[in-house]
Structure 1
Amino acid sequence: MLNLSIVLEDSARECPDRTAVVYGDLRLPYSLVNTVANQVANLLVSRGIGKGDKVALACPNLPYFPFVYFGILKAGATVVPLNILLQAPEITYHLQDSEAKALFCFEGLPDLPLGERGRQGFEGAEGAEHFFVLPATPFATESAHGETIWAALDGVSGEFETAQTAPDDTAVILYTSGTTGRPKGAELTHMNMLMNAMVSDEMYPRAEGGDAYLAVLPLFHSFGQTVVMNAGFRRRATLVLLPRFEPGPALELMRKENVTLFAGVPTMYWGMLTKIHADGDEVPSSLTTAVAGGASSPVEVLKDFEATFGIGILEGYGLSETSPVASFNQLGRPTKPGTIGTPIWGVEMKLVDGQWNTVEGEGPGEIAIRGHNVMKGYYNRPEATAEVMKDGWFRTGDIATRDADGYYTIVDRAKDMIIRGGFNVYPREIEEVLMTHPEVSLAAVVGVPHDSHGEEVKAYVIRTPGAGLTEEQLISWCRENMAAYKYPRVVEFRDALPMTATGKILKRELR
C-alpha cells in the first residue's frame, strides 16, 4: 500500500492546526484541507469513480487545487491536471486521450473564461460523465456552467478511509507540452511522485520556525506540483498561493508572509530583479532557499540574484516524464552556477548518442535517466514509449556535457539546435553571450530558414529600460564576441517574449 496522499494525511495528523494554505485573506489549517479532500473522495466514490479511473482537474493556484488533487488520490483514482490556458477543443482531446470520467473545472474570470471552455470541452468528450464547477465566488452553490463542488459536497462526510493503492499504480497523468505532435500523457506512479517529493524535501534545509513556500509555479505542472505542493505538504510548510506571476505582487507576498523557499523558472527571477532595480522594490529578507528549473538560468541572472538577495539560486533539472526532478545542485556539495548539478539520490544519468551508445568523458551527448523517478510510459502509446525508453533508461532529448566531478551542463534541447552551414549552433550558448551585453535584458535565439546555409541564427532581444541599442550595433558586437558561424545575423527587438503558462519562452512561436 502506498498512496501519494500520505504527504497531506501525515501532516494533518501530526499538526492539524498548522496553516497549510494561504490565499489572500484565507488561512486554512492542514486539518481543513484534509477534511475537504476526504469529502471530495467520498463524492467521487458515491458517483461510481474509484481505483483506476481518471479524473481531470483544470484549476489555477487556488485552495481548490489541493482539495481536489488529494481527494482524487484518496479515492484511488488518477489525477489528470490540465493546463488552464487550454481551449475547448484541446480540453476535449485531453479528456478523451486520458479516458477521464470526470472534470473539476474552475469557473474562471473575465480574462480567463475557463468554465465556459471546460464545459464545452467536456460536452465534446465521449466517456466523460461528471462535470463539477469550482466557483470563482467562495462557497457559491450555483453556476451557469453546472453543478458546483459546494452543492455536490453538501452533507458529504469529512471522514474517508484512503483507498489501497500499489506503488506502481498510476497517481498522475501529466501531459507533456507537445512541441512535437500532439500532447502525450506521462503516467507517473504513486512511487514516482512520492519518492520525488521526499527527495526534493530532503534536499533543502528546514527553517527553524517552519517554512513558507511561495506557490506561483502552476500546480498543474510537474515542477510546482512535486517541488512546491507535495514536498511542501510533506514538510508541513505553509503554501502561499499566487495564481499569476507578477514580480511586484510576488515580492510583496514574500515579504508579508515571510516566505523561506521560492521555486521558479529563470524568467521569474529575471522579472523580480528587473522590478527591484527599476522600481527600488525591497528585497525580501526571509528567503533562505531559491530553486530554479524548467529552463537553464542565464549566468548573468544567477550572478545578479546572488548579489541582490544574498543567496544563490540552486539549479536543478527534470521533465514531466521524470516526476520531474532528476538532478540538482545539492547542498553539501559545491554549487556550480550554470550547471544542473548531479543526479539526485536513487537516480542515475548518462550521456548517449542517437543509437543509445554510452558517450564517455565530457560529451556532448543526450541525457538518459534511470531510477525511481522515471514514468511507466506514455498512456496508451506503446510506440512513443518505446522510442524514448530502453532497459529502464529514458532519453530526454536534451544535449549536455559532463565535467570531471560529474556535474552536467545543458547545452540545449536537441530539437532547438540550429544547423548553420553544416555547423551545430546551440542557441543557449548565444543567449548567454548576448546577456553579458550591458543593454540586453533578455534574449531568445532561434534558427530561421535560409536558402544557402539551411538555417540562419536570429536573436529576439528585450533591451534594458532606456537603452538605445540598435540592431547594427548589437550584430557588430556579436561578431566581435562570437565565432563567425555562430553570431546572429538577424536581431529583432521586442518589448516582451511569448511564454508558456509556466514561464518558459515559446521558441516555436518565434521561429
Structure 2
Amino acid sequence: MLNLSVLLENSAQKYADKTAFTFMDSSLSFAQINGAANQVANALVSLGIRPGDKIALSCFNLPYFPIIYNGILKAGATVVPLSVLLKADEIHYHLENSDAKAYFSFTGTEDLPMGQMGHEGFQKTEACEHFFMIMPKSDMPSTIEGVETLGTMMRGQSPIFDTVETKSSDTAVIIYTSGTTGRPKGAELTHSNLFANTVLSADLIDCKPEDTLLIVLPLFHIFAMTVMMNAGLYRGATSILLPRFDAEGVLSLMHKHKVTIFAGVPTMYWGLNSYLDTNEFNISTIKSTLKTCASGGASLPVPVLEKFEKTFDLTILEGYGMSEGSPVVTFNQLDVGRKIGSVGTPVWGVQVKLVNEEGEEVPVGEKGELLYKGHNVMKGYYKNPEATARTIKNGWLHSGDIAVKDEDGFYFIVDRTKDMIIRGGLNVYPREVEEVMMKHPAVSMVAVIGVPDDEKGEEIKAFVLLNEGQTTTEEELTEYTKGNIAAYKYPRIIEITKTLPTSATGKILKKELRKL
C-alpha cells in the first residue's frame, strides 16, 4: 500500500512545528498543512467522494494548493491539476474528459478571473457535481452568489483523518499534456510513479530539512509539483511560494528568506539576467546562501546559463523530463558531473536509449528518438488506449524528442519530431490554436508554428489565409484569439498570407513555413 500523502504526513510527525510553506507574511507549519488537508479529506468523504474519483484543482502558488492536493490524495481520490490560464471552454473539456466529480478553483484576480471562468466551465459539465471557490481568506464570502467556498466546506471538519489505503499502482494525479493532433491528453501518474520521482528529485537538487526552496514555477505543472513541492514535503524543507514570476520579486524573496534552492524554466533565468543588467540589486546575501539551481521545461540557451552562473557563482543543473515521465528522465547529477548544454544522464532506475525510424539503437554521436522506461513511466493516457499504445511500446515510452548521446553517456536534445511549441516552458499545441482561430468568420486556413525567441525560447506564429472577399487585420485576429484561449497560447505574431505551402496530398508543409 502507498499513498503519496505520506510525504506530508511523515514530515508532519517529524517536523510538526517547522514552517512548511510561506506566502507573503503568513507561514503554515507541517502540522497545520496536514490538519487542513485532513479537513478537506473529511469534507470530501462526507460529500460521497469515493476512492478513484477525480477532483480538479485550479490554484495559484498558494498554501491552498498543497492543502487541497493532499486532501484529495488522503481521500483516495485522484488530483487533476489544471492550468490557471485556461478559459471556460477549455476547463469544461478537462472536467468532462477527466470525469471530474468535484472542482476547486481559486477566485483569481481582475486580470485573471479564474473563479468566474471555472464556474462557467463547471456549469457546462453535467457529471461534475461540486464546485468550491477558493477565496484569499477562508472567511471571505464567494464572489459568485450561491457558490460554496473552500472555507465553508472545511468549517467544522475534523483535522484528524485516517488516510485511505491506496495501491501503489492506483492513479494519484492526471496531468494534461499534449500531442500534435487533437486536444490535450491526461497522463495517469500512479502513487509509485510520483513517489519514486520525488525521492530521486530530492537527491538531485540536494534538498535537506534545513533548506529553503523558492517555488515560482506553477504548482499545476509537473516540474514544480514533483521536483519542488513534493521533494520539499518529503525532506521537511521550507518552501516559499510566489504565484507569478517577477525578477525583482524573486530576488527580493531569495534575499529575505535566504533561499538555498531555486528551479526555473529558461525564460526565468533570462529574466533574472536581464533585470540585473539594468537594475541595481545587492546579490551578496543571495550568493552566500543559494546552492542549487535547476532548469527544465525547455533547453536553456548556453549564453543565458553561462551569464547566470558567472553572476551567482554556482552551477545550474539542467534536466529533461515529460509529464508522462513523472517528470524527470535525465539530469545533470551532482555525483556524475555535468556538461553545459546537456540534459545529463539517466536518473536512478530509468533506462534511456536512442533509436532510428526502424527502432534500432543508434551509435554514439548519432541522432535518434529518445525512448525511456522505468518506474517513472505513466500508467497511460486516461480513456485513450490508442494514444497510449502509440506512445508506450514494450514498456518503452517514445518521447518524440530527438537527442544525441556522447561517449560519456550524456544526452543532448537536438530536435523534436512533434510540432509542439514550448513557449516559456509551457506546451502549446498548434492544432488547438488553429482550431480557435478558424472559428473567426474571416479566416479560411491557419498554420501555427514556433519561431525562435530570445526570451520565451519559442514564440507562436500564425500564418493565416482569409476567406474570399473577407478582410481583417493581424491586430484584430490577435485580440480575437486572445479572448478564446489561455493567455500563453495565443500567437504574438500573425502573418496574413495569400498561400500556404502544401504537399501533393494537401498537407501544409510547416517545415517550409519555418524557413520563411
Question: Structure 2-normalised TM-score?
Answer: 0.81
Q: Structure 1 residues 502, 357: closer, same or farther in 2, change over 3 A? A: farther
Instruction: Specify the alignment match of 2:416 in structure 1.
Output: 413
Q: Structure 1 residues 38, 219: closer, same or farther in 2, change over 3 A? A: same
- Unaligned 5+ runs, structure 2: 424-429, 431-447, 457-481, 496-513
Q: Structure 1 residues 414, 506: closer, same or farther in 2, change over 3 A? A: farther
Q: Distance in 2 between matches of 1:337 and 1:162?
A: 44
Q: Secondary structure at the match of 2:194?
A: helix
Superposed counterparts of 1:298-337, under 5 Å: 298-337=301-340
Instruction: Specify the alignment match of 1:400 in structure 2.
Output: 403
Q: Structure 1 residues 265, 90: closer, same or farther in 2, change over 3 A? A: same
**Residue 151 (structure 1) aligned with residue 122 (structure 2):** no
Q: Structure 1 residues 456, 81: closer, same or farther in 2, change over 3 A? A: closer
Q: Secondary structure at the match of 1:262?
A: strand
Instruction: Specify the alignment match of 2:120 in structure 1.
Output: 120
Q: Distance in 1 between matches of 2:5 and 2:58?
A: 19
- Which consecutive aligned stretches of 4+ in structure 1 deviate over 3 angstroms post-superposition? 177-180, 455-463, 500-511
Checking the alignment, whether the CA contact within 8 Å between 2:21 and 2:27 is kept in structure 1 is: yes
Instruction: Specify the alignment match of 1:225 in structure 2.
Output: 225
Question: After the TM superposition, which of the residue ranges 143-152 and 327-336 deviates more from structure 2?
Answer: 143-152
Superposed counterparts of 1:46-85, under 5 Å: 46-85=46-85
- Unaligned 5+ runs, structure 1: 419-426, 429-445, 447-454, 464-497
Q: Distance in 2 between matches of 1:235 and 1:276?
A: 32
* Root-mean-square deviation over aligned CA pairs: 2.8
Q: Structure 1 residues 393, 506: closer, same or farther in 2, change over 3 A? A: farther
Instruction: Specify the alignment match of 1:190 in structure 2.
Output: 191
Q: CA deviation at 1:281?
A: 2.1
Checking the alignment, whether the CA contact within 8 Å between 1:81 and 1:174 is kept in structure 2 is: yes
Q: Distance in 2 between matches of 1:181 and 1:128?
A: 23
Q: Secondary structure at the match of 1:62?
A: coil
Checking the alignment, whether the CA contact within 8 Å between 2:207 and 2:231 is kept in structure 1 is: no
Instruction: Specify the alignment match of 1:359 in structure 2.
Output: 362
Q: CA deviation at 1:368?
A: 0.3
Q: Distance in 1 between matches of 2:290 and 2:113?
A: 35
Checking the alignment, whether the CA contact within 8 Å between 2:36 and 2:67 is kept in structure 1 is: yes
Q: CA deviation at 1:141?
A: 4.2
Q: Deviations over 1:160-204 (max 9, x none)?
A: 011000010000000004553200000000000000000001223
Q: Secondary structure at the match of 1:108?
A: coil
Instruction: Specify the alignment match of 2:435 in structure 1.
Output: none
Instruction: Specify the alignment match of 1:472 in structure 2.
Output: none
Q: Percent identity?
A: 52
Instruction: Specify the alignment match of 2:203 in structure 1.
Output: 202
Checking the alignment, whether the CA contact within 8 Å between 2:138 and 2:151 is kept in structure 1 is: no
Checking the alignment, whether the CA contact within 8 Å between 2:20 and 2:237 is kept in structure 1 is: yes
Q: CA deviation at 1:504?
A: 10
Instruction: Name which of 375, 382, 390 aligns with 2:385.
Output: 382
Instruction: Specify the alignment match of 1:181 in structure 2.
Output: 182
**Residue 39 (structure 1) aligned with residue 39 (structure 2):** yes
Q: Structure 2 counterpart of 1:333, which letter?
A: V
Q: CA deviation at 1:269?
A: 0.4
Q: Structure 1 residues 117, 138: closer, same or farther in 2, change over 3 A? A: same
Checking the alignment, whether the CA contact within 8 Å between 1:109 and 1:136 is kept in structure 2 is: no
Q: Distance in 1 between matches of 2:50 and 2:71?
A: 11
Instruction: Specify the alignment match of 1:452 in structure 2.
Output: none
Q: Structure 2 counterpart of 1:341, which letter?
A: G
Q: Structure 1 residues 506, 62: closer, same or farther in 2, change over 3 A? A: farther
Instruction: Specify the alignment match of 1:26 in structure 2.
Output: 26
Instruction: Specify the alignment match of 1:372 in structure 2.
Output: 375
Q: Distance in 1 between matches of 2:492 and 2:364?
A: 30
Instruction: Specify the alignment match of 2:214 in structure 1.
Output: 214
**Residue 134 (structure 1) aligned with residue 134 (structure 2):** yes
Checking the alignment, whether the CA contact within 8 Å between 2:138 and 2:150 is kept in structure 1 is: no
Question: After the TM superposition, which of the residue ranges 500-509 and 135-144 deviates more from structure 2?
Answer: 500-509
Checking the alignment, whether the CA contact within 8 Å between 1:400 and 1:411 is kept in structure 2 is: yes
Instruction: Specify the alignment match of 2:166 in structure 1.
Output: 165
Superposed counterparts of 1:393-472, under 5 Å: 393-416=396-419, 460=453
Q: Structure 1 counterpart of 2:195, which letter?
A: L
Q: CA deviation at 1:390?
A: 0.5
Q: Distance in 1 between matches of 2:254 and 2:124?
A: 42
Q: Structure 1 residues 386, 457: closer, same or farther in 2, change over 3 A? A: closer
Instruction: Specify the alignment match of 2:350 in structure 1.
Output: 347
Q: CA deviation at 1:132?
A: 0.8
Question: After the TM superposition, which of the residue ranges 354-363 and 500-509 deviates more from structure 2?
Answer: 500-509
Q: Distance in 1 between matches of 2:221 and 2:420?
A: 25
Q: CA deviation at 1:114?
A: 0.5
Checking the alignment, whether the CA contact within 8 Å between 1:2 and 1:167 is kept in structure 2 is: yes
Checking the alignment, whether the CA contact within 8 Å between 1:173 and 1:187 is kept in structure 2 is: yes
Q: CA deviation at 1:363?
A: 2.0
Checking the alignment, whether the CA contact within 8 Å between 1:294 and 1:504 is kept in structure 2 is: no
Instruction: Specify the alignment match of 2:266 in structure 1.
Output: 266
Q: Structure 2 counterpart of 1:193, which letter?
A: L
Q: CA deviation at 1:278?
A: 1.2
Q: Structure 2 counterpart of 1:261, which letter?
A: I
Q: CA deviation at 1:359?
A: 2.0
Q: Secondary structure at the match of 2:418?
A: helix
Q: Structure 1 residues 460, 169: closer, same or farther in 2, change over 3 A? A: closer
Q: Structure 1 residues 79, 456: closer, same or farther in 2, change over 3 A? A: closer
Checking the alignment, whether the CA contact within 8 Å between 2:96 and 2:125 is kept in structure 1 is: yes
Instruction: Specify the alignment match of 2:471 in structure 1.
Output: none
Checking the alignment, whether the CA contact within 8 Å between 1:50 and 1:75 is kept in structure 2 is: yes
Checking the alignment, whether the CA contact within 8 Å between 1:267 and 1:503 is kept in structure 2 is: no
Question: Structure 1-normalised TM-score?
Answer: 0.82
